[in-house]
Copies of this chain bind each other. A is one copy, B any other.
């Protein structure tokens, strides 16, 4: 196995375990066991746990950028792109109800630990923020695009947290429908499908 392949496998396993169990609660042994590696070998690829965290955050930044680029390329309407963002909540509902939002929960954990990487983790939010802001600008809301982007992020985070606490899939679907209705109110010219409203 080449160094890069093993390294990549470590990052992907750490990414999953940091999400499912949290950063602190995941040990080197956990990641190594997952891959059938010895702990010793581990240190050939990463000297410290913080190095793995940095690599995981970079990996998440890359995959997130790829996802947003794909939406930018494949979806014509900015409103439909924003809807794709809403729909993450439904597509990932099972994992969200079990482990929360990968971005929000990591930022919260690193904030409590006052960890050096907490600002890096917040860049994941910043990535969504600037992308969403761009979509709202394209919808003619350049003046308050950033505030609208933060508002959307805020609601997605709230839905994730409550969905985890209450394990309630209907709540997720209701709030996504409400987000779509909200989007329609914000940008009535964007030719969205007719929204269902609740509450």
Residues of A participating in the B interface, judged by any CB pair closer than 8 Å: 20-22, 24-25, 98-100, 104-105, 107-109, 111-113, 121-122, 125-126, 144, 147-148, 150-151, 153-159, 161-162, 164-166, 171, 174-175, 178, 198-199
Contacts and interface: CB of A to CB of B under 8 A. Distances in A.
Contacts of A100: 108, 111-112
State the number of copies, please: 2
A22 B154 CA distance: 22
Given A24-B25, A112-B21, A112-B22, A153 B164 contact: no
Majority secondary structure, A binding face: helix
Nearest to A186: B199
Contacts of A111: 98-100, 164-165
Given A113-B22, A144-B199, A164-B108, A151 B125 contact: no
Contact of A161 (B20, B107, B199): B107
Nearest to A18: B112
Contacts of A122: 165-166
Given A154-B155, A157-B158, A198 B147 contact: yes
Nearest to A146: B199
Contact of A151 (B21, B126, B166, B178): B178
A141 to B, nearest CB: 8
22 contacts: A20-B112, A22-B112, A98-B111, A100-B111, A104-B165, A105-B108, A105-B112, A108-B161, A109-B109, A111-B165, A121-B165, A144-B198, A150-B162, A150-B166, A150-B175, A151-B175, A154-B155, A154-B175, A157-B161, A158-B159, A158-B161, A161-B161
Contact of A162 (B20, B99, B105, B125): B125
Contacts of A109: 22, 109
Given A22-B113, A108-B108, A153 B162 contact: yes
Contacts of A25: 24, 112-113
